[in-house]
Structure 1
Amino acid sequence: MNARLSPFFTVFATVAAGTAMASNYLLQPVLPAVADTLGIDVSSAGLIAASTQIGYMLGILLIVPLGDVFDKRTQIIWQFLILGAAIWLAALCTSPALFFLACIVIGMMATNAIQLNALGFQLSEKGSTVGTITMGISAGILLARFVGGAIAQARGWQHMLMCTAVLMLTLAVAGGVAMPSSPPRGKTAYRQVLASLPGLLGRYALLRESVMVGGAWFFVFSMLWVALMLHLQAAPINLDPTATGLFGLAGLAGLLMARYAGALADQIGSRAVITLGLLLVLGGVAILYLFPHSISGLVIGVVLFDLGCFSAQVANQTRALRLEPNLRSSLFAVYMFCYYAAGALGSLSAGYIYQQSGWRGICISAFIVTAMGLAITWKNNKNTSLNIQTVK
């Protein structure tokens, strides 16, 4: 075993990446309560979810590439410190403008989850390693809704954010012990790294495919989860925030599958795993459409949906990281910027589509966009290998 890839690091990276990512989703189960506190319309609640995703996009574009310039350990620690401060500020906000600004900073600093994943991949290039840390990220996304909803219902959403801020500061301290030093392999200026990002899409055909396919399912994932939080608290279901957050646990099957999806992609190829994942997403969306007011039907649909999304994500992400060993943070930046741009559009559109067309309108939109991602995958399936191609 590589001495630098200790079990302690893997455990820390998995937990820390998941906790950082969770900060983007903690408020989803209490969107109506936050909207009421800030004095904004519930139909605009998607803006709350979208603000952290917009911040995440900016962080991907401006902060993640720093991993190719500076020591990743130092960068991750500083991001946890700033993340904790931004979450505390959000808890104190009563002004919508200041709150949205704090959420944008939260999203930017939550990109340390990407740096942790890139650091893990640098220490071990196996798909299973990426899958393990991705499993932590998936857990953060899923458990955030339950934990956020439960604490917010018991003590208020502001108190929930304060507890989270303290946790982020604790992870900053722990990271100094758990993470190995990771200086950049080359001496590339930050400005040069940023200038190179657009060219990566033109250079790698596989990266373009990964961006389009990943963007399709993350648009669907973000749209559906924001709409689901609204749908579950509306008539005739009328669940409280804690019960709404419990739906996050319905996606645990996808979480448990994440690590195995990476190993499976190593064996049978990424496109095969992505295809299987998207087919599961379509099946889950179909069930969600057919049983809009059945708790058991919604649970089954969410299980299949999340299982497909997380499985496809691991395979898609692993193949993108293999393209250029010396530019992994930059590749992550391009891939995840496009990925979260699609997610932000999904969150922004959720409230409007749900208000105009209801839950079934959400499901129809999800089915169409997922089918587009599947069509792109099938079209490129004639390249039977992982085709790490450079466009001349």
Structure 2
Amino acid sequence: MTAWRRLLLAMVCGVAVASIYAAQTVLDPMGHDLGVAPGLTGWIVSTGQFGYLVGLVLLVPLGDVADRRRLIAVHLAVTAAGMVLTASATASWVAFAGLAAAGMFAVVVQTTVAYAASVSSPGERGRDIGVVTSGVVVGILGARAVTGALTELWGWRSVYVVLAVLSLGLAALVLAVLPTEERSGRPTGYVRAVTSIGGLFRQRLFLSRGLIAFFLFASFGTLWSGLSLPLSDAPWHLSEGQTGLFGFVGLAGALGAARAGRWADAGRAMPVTGLALGLLILSWAAIGQLTWTLWIPLVGIVLLDFAVQAVHVSNQHLLTTAHPERVSGVIGGYMVFYSLGSALGAASTTALFAAHGWAGSSFLGAGLAACALVVWAVNRRLSVDGATPSGEGTDATPVGDGKAVERAGRAASTH
């Protein structure tokens, strides 16, 4: 993995995930133009998330069967088609269809992360995943700034046209620059790859990290799917372009957490997760002050995105290390929790804001973060006590010991 290849893979992740989250900044003009009721605009984002969920189950396992490099290019091309459909929509159902299609094939993010994990050396897997995954957060947050500016200049439809062009350009670069993976052993059959995801849900490491991701990204979605609502309301009355600038604030925290991969390589994934989740709860105390000040919430946004990225990278490092023989499947299964959590946060924050204002959304975000911390604490206690549920396989390794998980993953790959 050269620096340029890591950068290209990070860009693929950023553009793909931006196709889902681009609507967050333009909910008001997009909903008004398509005739969507204000209380239901959260579903514009959630539709892409549910499409993403379908893709995680049906498309990501293909990475354990076919050439991931070609899959990345094909998925980017289909995502571009969904963006074109959304940009040309004159009715809400057409836009929802385009968003669902783009969301479904935006799982190219997981295929990309799996590709990075498979071509990385064991001692640098966390670092590479951290850099590539940072593209996801850059896409989510950077899209807010770019979409806001594009919307003010040419309207919300221009956002999806730009994303379509970028997706097609990256597809061509992937085929031209990235090498084909060298795999040992026979590829897993597609049906087996899909059905094996169900077995992961019986394993403690997978289930605990998945539940943490569910609450983590529900809290994340609560902020970024609802932030434009109080900022466009009294007393701020900010435009879409001004609201989008908050994405740059979040980027500072997210990029700062890119080092989480190195912490995971050093076996510190468990303590880093606990500290980051505690920080996530504290961040909501600052973000909740948004109705009377902007400066304190800005600090909270930096802390929130730092915490989310640190936990997300730690989760993926542990899971891909424990399951080196089916990297795509385990990432796809894990991201089911991510998708459901993000959809929950997006749909809930708009409804709570309409009923209880930003205070309601803030309590929701903090409560979801607290749920993630409880899951972490319970799993840590089980690990300390030596409890090992049956059917756990390589996940019987205590999740607090990143190096032990890596050894277990290497051992599993030899059988």
The answer to whether the superposition gives a TM-score over 0.5 is: yes
1:12 and 2:13 aligned: no
State TM-score, norm by structure 1: 0.95
Match of 1:164 in 2: 163
Q: Tell me how far 1:265 sits from its aligned partner.
A: 2.1
Q: Tell me how far 1:268 sits from its aligned partner.
A: 4.6
Which segments of 5 or more consecutive residues in structure 2 lack a partner in the other structure?
384-399, 410-415
Q: Name the CA distance, whole Å, in 2 between partners of 1:168 and 1:218.
A: 24
1:189 and 2:205 aligned: no
Match of 2:31 in 1: 35
Match of 1:102 in 2: 98
Q: Name the CA distance, whole Å, in 1 between partners of 2:62 and 2:359.
A: 42
Contact in 2 for aligned 1:151/1:160 (Cα 8 Å): yes
Q: Name the SS of the counterpart of 1:23 in structure 2.
A: helix
Query: What count of residue pairs does the alignment treat as equivalent?
Result: 385
1:58 and 2:62 aligned: no
Match of 2:330 in 1: 331
Match of 2:199 in 1: 199
2:401 aligns with one of 381, 385, 389: 385
Q: Which range moves more in the overlay, 240-249 or 184-193?
A: 184-193
Q: Name the SS of the counterpart of 1:25 in structure 2.
A: helix
Q: Tell me how far 1:279 sits from its aligned partner.
A: 1.4
Q: Name the SS of the counterpart of 1:93 in structure 2.
A: coil
Q: Tell me how far 1:242 sits from its aligned partner.
A: 0.4
Q: Tell me how far 1:73 sits from its aligned partner.
A: 0.8
Q: Name the SS of the counterpart of 1:372 in structure 2.
A: helix
Match of 1:290 in 2: 289
Q: Name the SS of the counterpart of 1:26 in structure 2.
A: helix
Q: Name the CA distance, whole Å, in 2 between partners of 1:232 and 1:149.
A: 13
Q: Name the SS of the counterpart of 1:322 in structure 2.
A: helix
Q: Which range moves more in the overlay, 69-78 or 11-20?
A: 11-20
Residues 314-372 of structure 1: CA deviation (Å, up to 9, x unaligned): 11121111121111100011100122112111111111111111111111111111111
Q: Name the CA distance, whole Å, in 2 between partners of 1:133 and 1:336.
A: 15
Q: Name the CA distance, whole Å, in 2 between partners of 1:240 and 1:40.
A: 20
Report percent identity of matched pairs: 30
Q: Tell me how far 1:142 sits from its aligned partner.
A: 1.1
Q: Name the CA distance, whole Å, in 1 between partners of 2:227 and 2:336.
A: 24
Q: Name the CA distance, whole Å, in 2 between partners of 1:313 and 1:329.
A: 16
Q: Tell me how far 1:100 sits from its aligned partner.
A: 0.5
Q: Which range moves more in the overlay, 105-114 or 377-386?
A: 377-386
Residues 135-155 of structure 1: CA deviation (Å, up to 9, x unaligned): 111111110010011111111
Match of 1:307 in 2: 306
Runs of 4+ in 1 over 6 A off after TM superposition: none
> RMSD of the alignment, in Å?
1.6
Aligned residue runs from structure 1 range 144-159, under 5 A: 144-159=143-158
Match of 2:41 in 1: 45
Q: In the alignment, residue 385 of structure 1 is paired with which amino acid?
A: D
Match of 1:368 in 2: 367
Q: Tell me how far 1:184 sits from its aligned partner.
A: 5.7
Q: Tell me how far 1:25 sits from its aligned partner.
A: 1.3
Match of 1:234 in 2: 233
Q: Name the CA distance, whole Å, in 2 between partners of 1:282 and 1:259.
A: 20
Q: Name the CA distance, whole Å, in 1 between partners of 2:291 and 2:378.
A: 33
Residues 143-175 of structure 1: CA deviation (Å, up to 9, x unaligned): 001001111111111122112211111111111
Q: Name the CA distance, whole Å, in 2 between partners of 1:188 and 1:248.
A: 40
Q: Tell me how far 1:222 sits from its aligned partner.
A: 0.7
Q: Name the CA distance, whole Å, in 1 between partners of 2:89 and 2:379.
A: 48
